[in-house]
Amino acid sequence: MSKKSIAFGRILRKFKDDPVKFRRILKAGMGFENLRRKKFPNKNRPSFVNTINYLAVSEVFRALKGNDVAWVNLLAPSEILLAAGLSPVSAEGISGTMSSMHLEDIPLNLAAANGVSNNLCTFHRASIGTAMWRVFPRPEIVVTTTILCDGNPGSFYKISKSYGSPFFLIDVPRGRRREYVPYVEKQLYELIELIESITGNKFSYEKLSEYLEREKQTVENLNYARRLLASKAVPMYLYEQMNTLYIMHTLAGSEELLKASKELIADLEDSSVTPSKRILWLHIPPYYDNELFELFSPDGKVWVITDELWWDWLYPVKPEDPVRSLAEKLVFNIGAGTVQERAEFLLKLASDLRVSGAIHFSHWGCRQSSGGVGYLKDAFSMAEIPFLELSGDCVDHNSESAGQLKTRVNAFLEILGVRE
Q: What is the pLDDT of residues 325-339, one digit of tens each?
A: 999 999 999 999 999
Task: Give the predicted TM-score (pTM) of the model.
Answer: 0.95
CA neighbor of 361 nearest in space, from 301, 309, 299, 420: 309
Percentage of the chain beyond pLDDT 90 is 85
User: What does the pLDDT read at residue 88?
Assistant: 98
Task: Point out the least confidently predicted range of 133-147, 210-224, 390-404.
Answer: 390-404
**pLDDT grade, residue 401 (50/70/90)?**
low
Greatest Cα pair distance, the chain, in angstroms, is 62
Element (H, E) at 281: strand 277-283
HEC readout, 126-142? HHHHHHHHCCCCCCCEE
Q: Which of 320, 322, 347 is nearest to 334 (CA)?
A: 347
Residue 420: pLDDT band (50, 70, 90) is low
Q: How far apart are CA 155 and CA 98, in angstroms?
A: 17
Contact at 8 Å (CB) between 268 and 229? yes
